[in-house]
Amino acid sequence: MTSRTRLSLSLGLLALVACSDKAPAPGKPATPPPVDSLAGSLAGSLAGSLAGTAAAETVHAAPAAPAPASAAGDTAKKTGSKRAAPDSAIMLAVATQPKHRSQNDSISLVAAIRAGLNGGKWPVSGPAPLAGSVLPQKRIVAFYGNPLSKKMGILGEIPYDQMLAKLDTVVGWWRTADPATPVQPALHLIVSVAQGAPGKDSMYRQRSDPDLIEKIYGFAKAKGAITILDIQTGKSTLQQEIPQLIPFLSRSDVHLGIDPEFNMHYSREGRVPGSKIGTFDAKDVNYAIDQLAALVTKYHLPPKVLIVHRFTTNMLQHADQIKRDPRVQVVINMDGWGQPWLKFDTYRTSEVAEPVQYTGFKLFFHNDTRKGDPILTPREVLALRPRPIYIQYQ
């Protein structure tokens, strides 16, 4: 079991089979079906009523382009009509989903949107962003991986010049989809990579050479991108791994990611990384927050961004106890792959249901398309409530 099997394993569902190894690039979505036809097809499948007044569409990010669904279907019934008007969640799905998506995709998207609108949990209360904060003024769009592996993500899959050119293209997609929110490009480098073998220190992780980190940092800086250093602890700990990165994290444009999937502690002691999905507790996340906050204060840096991966509820224990420090902006990143309906469901259960601060959404160029589904477009992802403010491509 590896991070490449995430959503299938987390819900015990898809045994995905490989098809094309090349994902189609998102283009302009096809014209959506009429509102009444989609509402009718969903009516028998959704647990709740599809009629009702629209909930307030709260967003934790900077205001995006006006949602095309906001002005229609908000009254309970049209005057003189027997048909109830679709609610705002349905209207958002209709306005953003291309017609080739399945009914399951539509149902799951509506459920995820509705959870974000109606749960009363968003936006999250907390400290106001400090001067120099990346979020929520900008949306981060990151390419993820490690240059030593073609299988760990786009960052190492293709030659550097092609990768950076593709990043420019993808950043362009997001600027077009939401011109009101500037895009901050990023290179998200896995610097401690979980291993199936113990290694010299029996920690089941391999640290990247500082020269490699410096190289990726140089590419990022030349592109006006930020760098995110990601830790897979294996049998090590954040207390052992974060100090190794202090020379880099002390820079204003370097941030941190931590991945509970490969943290083999708590009930995972004695297991090999990848044999069981790992977990972090809030105290682990709070330790990372404290270390970053101390650097911000010591070196007079702008706030740091902390990315915490999650694709099952068990991966992050006691999420409600994660502290909110204005010096550190915490993003819970929906880090799972699969068909659109499965990704929407996981976003709802792993992020919307347990608010921390900001949300992220991961897209896989290959694994998301294994059953023939085109990769989700920015327009589709932006239909979610709250809108993800961190986007990661693997």
In a domain, 23, yes or no: no
Name the amino acid, one letter, at 28.
Answer: K
Q: What's 13's DSSP letter?
A: -
Does residue 161 sit in the same domain as residue 308?
yes
Please give the angle made by the CA atoms of 142, 350 and 140, to the nearest 5 degrees: 20
Pick the last residue of a domain from 118, 143, 176: 118
Pick the last residue of a domain from 118, 152, 172: 118
What integer pLDDT is reported at residue 95 of this predicted model? 94
Mean pLDDT taken over the chain = 83
| CA dihedral sign of residues 280, 393, 243, 330 | negative
Does residue 223 sit in the same domain as residue 339?
yes
Q: Which helix (H) or strand (E) holds 360?
A: strand 358-363
Token pair of 394 as six digits: 């693997």
| Strand, helix or coil for residue 282 | helix
Does residue 238 sit in the same domain as residue 282?
yes
What integer pLDDT is reported at residue 30 of this predicted model? 32
Pick the last residue of a domain from 118, 152, 185: 118
Does residue 287 sit in the same domain as residue 337?
yes
Please name which of 193, 164, 95, 141 lies closest in space to residue 361, comparing C-alpha atoms: 141
Does residue 109 sit in the same domain as residue 254?
no
Give the tens place of pLDDT for each residue, 121-168: 999 998 999 999 999 999 999 999 999 999 999 999 999 999 999 999
In a domain, 24, yes or no: no
| Strand, helix or coil for residue 349 | helix
In a domain, 289, yes or no: yes
What integer pLDDT is reported at residue 85 of this predicted model? 58
Residues 378, 174 contacting (CB under 8 angstroms)? yes
Count other C-beta atoms under 10 Å from residue 52's C-beta. 18
Please give the angle made by the CA atoms of 106, 112 and 117, to the nearest 5 degrees: 125
Q: Judge whether residue 37 has pLDDT over 70.
A: no
What integer pLDDT is reported at residue 23 of this predicted model? 32
Cα–Cα distance for residue pair 155/142, rounded to 1 Å = 9
Residues 347, 105 contacting (CB under 8 angstroms)? no
In a domain, 30, yes or no: no
In a domain, 336, yes or no: yes
352 phi and psi, to 5 degrees? -65, -40
Does residue 188 sit in the same domain as residue 330?
yes
In a domain, 28, yes or no: no
pTM for this predicted structure: 0.81
The DSSP-derived string for 162-224 is HHHHHHHHHHHHHHHH-TTS-EEEEEEEEEEEE-SS-TTTT-SEEEPPHHHHHHHHHHHHHTT
Please name which of 340, 336, 268 lies closest in space to residue 10, comparing C-alpha atoms: 336
Does residue 277 sit in the same domain as residue 229?
yes
248-266: average pLDDT: 98
Does residue 232 sit in the same domain as residue 377?
yes
| Strand, helix or coil for residue 375 | coil
Q: Which residues contact 366 (CB under 8 A, 6 or more apart)?
A: 21, 22, 23
Give the tens place of pLDDT for each residue, 279-318: 999 999 999 999 999 999 999 999 999 999 999 999 999 9
Does residue 13 sit in the same domain as residue 62?
no
Does residue 108 sit in the same domain as residue 234?
no
In a domain, 347, yes or no: yes
Q: What is the CATH number of the domain that holds 258?
A: 3.20.20
Give the tens place of pLDDT for each residue, 200-226: 999 999 999 999 999 999 999 999 999
Does residue 206 sit in the same domain as residue 345?
yes
Does residue 180 sit in the same domain as residue 249?
yes
Q: Judge whether residue 19 has pLDDT over 60.
A: no
The DSSP-derived string for 207-257 is EPPHHHHHHHHHHHHHTT-EEEEEE--BTS-HHHHGGGGHHHHTSTTEEEE
What integer pLDDT is reported at residue 87 of this predicted model? 86
**In terms of residue numbers, what domain contains 95?**
35-118
Number of domains, the chain: 2
In a domain, 123, yes or no: no
Give the tens place of pLDDT for each residue, 340-373: 999 999 999 999 999 999 999 999 999 999 999 9
